[in-house]
Structure 1
Amino acid sequence: MAMVRVEAVVDAPVQQVWDAVADVGAVHRRLLPGRVTDARVEGDIRILTMPDGHQVRELILGVDHGLRRMAYAVVEGQRLPLTYHYAAFQVLDEGPRSRLVWLTDVLPHDMADAVRARVERGMAEMKAVLERDETS
């Protein structure tokens, strides 16, 4: 299995960043506005709607407030030819700043570069949103 790890230092306090990550039904407002136009949660499933109307379904595996870790698996709607897609965010305290870590496991292995490009772009967008809005 290929693993993609992307992290960023965010100029925002750890609780602010964690609150945004943990708010799984508000990713379209708090982390990726513009990239995700809507998000709703039905039981353990998060349904993301993209600007073109395409939907992605993710199984929310866990939100651990003590570890500041949120894990999910894409179960339907991914556009890349992946047979397995599991990911987790963790928010680490770095004093007045935070470190946001995004780990993604994917199969097949040869899709790692394509996934890395998407994760890096998403991380840059989340960092900008989190640093811009201290009340997110």
Structure 2
Amino acid sequence: MATIYKEIWIEASPELVWDVVRDAGAVHKRFVPDYTAETHFDGVNRQIHFSNGNIVKELIVTRDDEQRRMAYAVVETKMPLQHHHASFQVYEDSGGRCRLVWITDFLPDQLAAEIQIRVDRGAEVMKRTIETEARNNV
């Protein structure tokens, strides 16, 4: 099973970053706007419409406020995934910043290059979006 581990250093409080991450129904507004166009969330199941037309259905496995951790699994997508599970966890750092760790496990391994591109692009958008929100809330 392939794993992609991504650390994203964000100039924002861990409280703000966690608030954005845990807001599972607002991915298209607060987390990765422009990369995503629409999100539907019923409290457990989430459907994300990407700007490229792709639709991904996910199961939100957990949202743990104490650990600032959210885990999810892709249950339907156009990609030929056999398995997909990922998590985000927010860690406090000094100086008004924090570290967002995104871990993605998936099969088949042959999708690693494509998924890495998506994770890298998503991480760029997350960082920019959350830092903009942090500056606007000052």
TM class by shorter-chain length? over 0.9
In the TM superposition, what is the alpha-carbon distance from 1:32 to its structure 2 partner? 0.6
In the TM superposition, what is the alpha-carbon distance from 1:43 to its structure 2 partner? 4.1
Write out aligned runs for 1:92-103 (5 A).
92-95=91-94, 96-103=96-103
Question: 1-side partners of 2:36 and 2:133: how far apart?
Answer: 17
Q: Number of aligned pairs? A: 134
* Cα RMSD after superposing both structures: 1.2
In the TM superposition, what is the alpha-carbon distance from 1:42 to its structure 2 partner? 2.2
Deviations 1:35-79 (A, max 9, x none): 1111111241001112254321100000000110000000012x3
Write out aligned runs for 1:39-118 (5 A).
39-77=39-77, 79-95=78-94, 96-118=96-118
Helix, strand or coil at the partner of 1:88: strand
After alignment, is 12-21 or 114-123 more displaced? Answer: 114-123
Helix, strand or coil at the partner of 1:81: coil
- In structure 2, the CA distance between the partners of 1:15 and 1:42, relative to structure 1 (3 Å rule), is same
Question: 2-side partners of 1:129 and 1:43: how far apart?
Answer: 23
Q: Percent of pairs identical after alignment?
A: 42
Q: Any stretches of 5+ residues in structure 1 without a counterpart?
A: none
Question: 2-side partners of 1:81 and 1:25: how far apart?
Answer: 25
- Aligned pair 1:13/2:29, yes or no? no
- In structure 2, the CA distance between the partners of 1:52 and 1:111, relative to structure 1 (3 Å rule), is closer
In the TM superposition, what is the alpha-carbon distance from 1:80 to its structure 2 partner? 2.6
Question: 2-side partners of 1:53 and 1:122: how far apart?
Answer: 16
Q: Any stretches of 5+ residues in structure 2 without a counterpart?
A: none
Question: 2-side partners of 1:112 and 1:52: how far apart?
Answer: 20
Helix, strand or coil at the partner of 2:125: helix
Question: 1-side partners of 2:99 and 2:115: how far apart?
Answer: 20
The residue type equivalent to 1:85 in the other structure is: H
Return the TM-score normalized by structure 2.
0.92
